[in-house]
Structure 1
């Protein structure tokens, strides 16, 4: 009873999957439907007391051949945009002839199975299922076995040939790519240098540009203190960095006063620049200097923030 129910359920599933395999317009869907048919056949083999054949069906056909089909489809790129126009004259006629021949063979096979006297599973598998199967493959059906092997090898070679592309031009070297980048820079002004890394302002890749914290604020620790001190002394420190540094230093002074240290707080960047620090020359009182940075004129802090384009 259970064998009959399993057969009729899997028979319906196999027929529906086979129809989907034939009528699907997407090659990948057809391949998946083919996998459903193969798995259904494997279960039917197991129900018919042929466990080795069921294992071979799953491992070889569903696992290997099916993956080969999918690999070829993904490699070649077959999709619904392929042309359905007949490219070989007469192929429809021969397709109809082949279909009729297959239908005749199928009818003869079903008639032989129904009319002929069944031998029985035990007698058919005399000596073991594996040994009986090997005897049939390499004696009675050896020609079909070799033809199947040749077809699989041909499919693998065909996939390699279809995926191969002849190179008509020499492979560009690093020098060629560099010249192309600078040529594009001359034509369109596209920056040939790499883009700045994540966490920095996407304006340029200077080392004095601070990183951003997850909340969008500036991280003062991302700018080297000596660079910030030098730029503070020259008046070219970015305004947003200067504001954040002032806030940090004010917080440090307030914490020092709260702890009772009085005036022994950590000197600010501006104070270190005036007093002279490592690699920094002190600025005279009242000295003002305009500095050109990246095509802009940046005046010292304390004055009105003004930038002028070159040539204006």
Structure 2
């Protein structure tokens, strides 16, 4: 009998397993509540990632390393990252609207969700209570991983491919529904942007900083500082400095 079989058949819980459960169970519950309560779609997906990671560790602790690694690698590492990529791509960073399009839809969804969960839980309890597992010995004769792989890619290959197509369709549908396409007339090309910059009232170039007074549009005319001195950095060194006239001085006094 292998070590995994002994661990799975044991009726007692070891100390390490109990400590792992009491540490990760509150985190998994917190992630589930945060996923439902989060207003931001990206934050909701990240909370779900936390819950999936905790579930993967639970599977490993319960002597199921294969399903635990599948939970972490496939669901958390691939599918949830795909959903996050789609959410980031379509720009769903804003909070959802709290205005209900249908009156009472949140209460109805809560009642139906609780009722469905109770129905599924009751069905599983009546189906599994007092029963013993049959057929596991033959299924795991060549190994658990090998047996799951053989069934997955032979008997259930159609369901596997349909599930893959469903996930891809869901991702593409989320992109199509959430993507906001701007009208062609609302887009500004380079020519329209240039014309908008040079329209009357706009200034195409950088304006002088505060306290600097320009008296001419010539690059050879030095700027005046608030105290009346010339700004040496306002003219290139290779150009001769233009002498200020009386009109420039009068303009300087007026601007002050």
Give the TM-score normalised by structure 1: 0.56
Shift in Å at residue 36 of structure 1? 1.2
Higher relative contact order (CA 8 A, sep 6+): 2
Q: Is 1:134–2:149 an aligned residue pair?
A: yes
Q: Is 79-88 or 25-34 further displaced after alignment? A: 79-88
Q: Is 1:60–2:62 an aligned residue pair?
A: no
Cα separation, partners in 2 of 1:56 and 1:191, compared to 1, 3 Å: same
Cα separation, partners in 2 of 1:208 and 1:112, compared to 1, 3 Å: farther
One of 123, 130, 143 as aligned partner of 1:108: 123
Tell whether the 8 Å contact from 1:18 to 1:33 is kept in structure 2 after alignment.
Answer: yes
Distance in 1 of aligned mates of 2:183 and 2:119: 48
CA RMSD of aligned residues (A): 4.2
Q: Is 1:24–2:32 an aligned residue pair?
A: no
Structure 2: state its 5+ residue gaps: 1-13, 224-229
- Match of 1:43, SS state, is helix
Q: Is 1:169–2:185 an aligned residue pair?
A: yes
Shift in Å at residue 18 of structure 1? 1.6
Shift in Å at residue 82 of structure 1? 1.1
Distance in 2 of aligned mates of 1:197 and 1:122: 84
Shift in Å at residue 143 of structure 1? 5.9
Cα separation, partners in 2 of 1:86 and 1:134, compared to 1, 3 Å: farther
Question: Counterpart in 2 of 1:149?
Answer: 164
Give the TM-score normalised by structure 2: 0.66
Distance in 2 of aligned mates of 1:112 and 1:33: 32
- Match of 1:115, SS state, is coil
- Match of 2:250, SS state, is coil
Question: Counterpart in 1 of 2:251?
Answer: 308
Give the length in aligned residue pairs: 227
Please tell me whether Structure 1 or Structure 2 has the larger radius of gyration of its CA atoms: 1
Structure 1: state its 5+ residue gaps: 211-217, 237-289, 292-296, 299-305
Cα separation, partners in 2 of 1:181 and 1:219, compared to 1, 3 Å: closer
Distance in 1 of aligned mates of 2:135 and 2:17: 15
